[in-house]
Structure 1
Amino acid sequence: MSALSKILRQPAPGRLYFWCPGCKDAHQIQHGEGPGPRWGWNGDAERPTFTPSVLVRSGHYVPGHEAGGCWCAYYAEHPEEERDFECGVCHSFVTDGQIQFLGDCTHALAGQTVPLAEFPEGWGC
């Protein structure tokens, strides 16, 4: 994996990671030619713009997810476990190095616009 900047990583050609401060995790997009969903990227590693919006769903928020087989259900059954994963929605526009979180996000940054964050020390090594 190569670091294109403090805020973008390239795990493979045509793929980019950016750090999401709302989810406290990386989100991936695919750009350029190829199969599967593709985003436009302005080519700027310091002030990236991706089009269209980026929508990430996990756990029971994934369409067609089997009821009861998610992180919410697991932690309800194992309250002593440290919560490393969460079910959620993260929907954003990334424009000129800013991430605008839309109102359907389930994390604390819903409705806010913040600069893209740097990756945590040692992430992706």
Structure 2
Amino acid sequence: MIALSRILRYTDDGGLIFWCPGCNSAHRVMVGYGEGPRWSYNGDPDKPTFNPSIRVTYNGSDADKPDRIPSCCHSFVTDGRIEFCSDSTHSLAGQTVEIPPWDEHL
């Protein structure tokens, strides 16, 4: 993993990752050409913009309960800010926050 800025990292497989304070975990988007889903990237590691939106599902705190619904983090990343969509299942749903620096989470 290579640091591109305080908030963005580059992975060996061509992905870009940032820390999500809603899920309290990293989110990776694949950019450029290649197999699988790809996002556009504005090329600014200090104020990244990715398109389209980023939607991640994961096993949340209710993962062991019957008929559980997977937790969801759905957001738009624009100019270094994360705008969480209202269908996100965490406490930041509907809010917009700055992408936090990696050094706070390492």
TM-score range, shorter chain: 0.7 to 0.9
Distance 2:72 2:40 in 1: 21
Alignment of 1:50-69 (within 5 A): 50-59=50-59
What are the superposed Cα offsets for residues 75-124 of structure 1, whole Å, 9 maximum, x if unpaired? x6xxxxxxxxxx5100000000010000000100000001111114573x
Q: Hey, what does 2:34 align to over in structure 1? A: 34
After superposition, the CA RMSD in angstroms is 1.9
In 2, Cα distance between equivalents of 1:108 and 1:71: 15
Distance 1:59 1:23 in 2: 11
In structure 2, stretches of 5+ residues that fail to align are none
- Measure how far apart 1:59 and its partner are: 2.8
| Higher helix proportion | 1
C-alpha distance in 1 between matches for 2:103 and 2:73: 19
- TM-score, normalization: structure 2? 0.88
**Could you tell me the TM-score, scaled by structure 1's length?**
0.75
- Between structure 1 and structure 2, the one with the greater Rg is 1
Match of 2:83 among 82, 91, 100: 100
Give the whole-Å Cα distance in 2 for the aligned partners of 1:89 and 1:110. 10
CA contact (8 A) 2:6 2:103 kept: no
Q: How many residues align?
A: 102
Q: Give the match for residue 63 of structure 2.
A: 72
